[in-house]
Structures are given as C-alpha cells and as structure tokens.
Amino acid sequence: MTRLSHASPRRSTRPDSSITTRTRAVIAGSAELAAALSPREIDILRLEARGRTNREIAAQLYLSEGTVKNHVSRILSRLSLRDRTQAALRARDLGLL
C-alpha cells in the first residue's frame, strides 16, 4: 500500500511585511503629527483633507473664517507643506481620512 503525502501550505503567523511597514509609518506619522499640531489643528487638517472650505470648517467648528485661515497657515508651516493639496495627501498618508 502506498502512502500519499498531502503537503499543505504552511501558514505564517507573521503579518505581511508591507502591512507592518505601513502600520509603522502611520504610527510614526501620528506621533510626528501629535507633536507638531494641536488637537484643533488636527481637526482642521482632517476637514480640510475631506475637501471642506475654510467657511465650511469654520461653521462646523464654531470658529471664525479668519481663525481657520490662521490654523491652516500654521498647519502648512509646521508640516513644511506648500498648499492644501499637500496637506490633504499628508492627512491621507497619516490615516486621518
């Protein structure tokens, strides 16, 4: 009688390295973000990244439009970004969306 061996593929208990790398980047970026921005600025960055205008952000957060503009300027400066598009991309990369 011949015995057949059915080799089953081994399943690794280690997470996919690309997922681990991305997770580490998000965590590191979150720490960087938390150190660089206030909680209010993070809220504004999140809304800005979702395409809200300064006026819409101001209404939602009960701030003046001028205050939102000041926050946006500080966000861009603190994160060394040129414009709102870069801010939206950074927010996406940091998992804020």
* Six token digits for residue 58: 């101001």
Q: Where are the domains of the chain?
A: 38-97
Q: For 37-84, how does the pLDDT look when each residue is reduced to its tens digit (9 = 90+)?
A: 888 999 999 999 999 999 999 999 999 999 999 999 999 999 999 999
Burial bucket for residue 84 (CB in 10 Å: 0-12, 13-18, 19+) = middle
* Domain 38-97, CATH among 1.10.10.10, 3.30.465.10, 1.10.1380.10, 3.40.50.2300: 1.10.10.10
The pLDDT assigned to 29 comes to 63
pTM of the full structure = 0.68
For Cα atoms 76, 81, 86, give the angle at the middle one, nearest 5 degrees. 105
Tell me the pLDDT band of 1, cut-offs 50, 70 and 90.
Answer: low
pLDDT > 90? residue 17: no
**CB of 48 closer than 8 Å to CB of 81:** no
Query: Tell me, what amino acid is at 21?
Result: T
